Amino acid sequence: MADYASGMAVRPARDFREPKAIELLAFAYALGVVGTLWDWREHLLGPGTQPPHLVIDLGGLVVISALAFSGRIDLRSRTFIALYVLLVLVVVVAFGPFVLMMAAPRSALMASLMHSMMSSGALLVYLPLVLLASWSAWRWLIQEPLNWWRLAAALGIVVVAIATVWDLYWHQTHPMELRTSMAGLPPHQAILAGFLIGLIGAGWGVAVGINRAGFRAHTAEGRIENAASKSK
């Protein structure tokens, strides 16, 4: 009975748990990579569609949310309020055009939006994205000791945000440039690079966490076995 009880203690039942921030980051960065490659493929086949952009935006927003709201945070603090307001602005900027295009693609409002996107003032609309990405990355980095994979996991989304603004500026300054593949555009290459940088860092962090968990489980198992052998 003692051996059976010790064996049961060594092999506890697996419970469902909430994913860690680093796991969410790895998933979201992978989503961004898939969405970017999907967008390139769509442009190879034709003028491109909106679903890949939705996947890209969703991946980016999950990355920002995981960075910004990981760790302890006071829901009544000014920091949380500022992060929340910036996140709402980014969601409106990211998903507003997509929703409008799906709901009323030929409306006067959609035509006005497309015209405004080609103005220099549109670049200012995307500044909250860069600010929120930078702030979120900084907040996540200061929570634990710095290492290369945490730095990569945090800076990946900053590269994506800056490249997104660059992409808008590129299309404004090169309106007549047509490419058979979005892979040939420098801003699109930078967006993919940002997602890959973040994916490598977050993926390494997940692997480190798995190794640490395995080491702790092995150590705990050894202690239990030693205690069981001494009690015989």
% of the chain exceeding 70 in pLDDT: 61
Residue 227 lies in a domain: no
pLDDT of residue 189: 92
Whether 7 is covered by a domain: the verdict is no
Query: What is the b/e burial string over 3-34, where b = at least 16 CB atoms within 10 angstroms of the residue's CB?
Result: eeebeeeeeeeeeeeeeebbbbbbbbbbbbbe
Is the pLDDT confidence value at 21 over 80?
Answer: yes
- Asked if the structure places residue 4 within a domain, the reply is no
Q: What would the mean pLDDT of 69-79 be, rounded to a whole number?
A: 71
In this predicted model, what pLDDT tens digit does every residue of 207-223 receive, in sequence order?
988 886 654 555 555 55
Domain count, the chain: 1
pLDDT in tens, 37-64: 998 888 777 655 678 888 998 999 999 9
148 in any annotated domain: yes
**Tell me, what's the pLDDT at 45?**
72
Task: Record the pTM.
Answer: 0.75
Q: Is residue 9 part of a domain?
A: no
139: Cβ contacts below 8 Å, ≥ 6 apart: 67, 68, 71
In sign, the C-alpha dihedral spanning 138, 140, 144, 150 is negative
Within-domain flag for 211: no
Question: Is residue 25 domain-resident?
Answer: yes
Domain with 30, as residue range(s), is 18-205
CB of 118 closer than 8 Å to CB of 174 = no
Report yes or no on 173 lying in a domain.
Answer: yes
3-state secondary structure of 46: coil
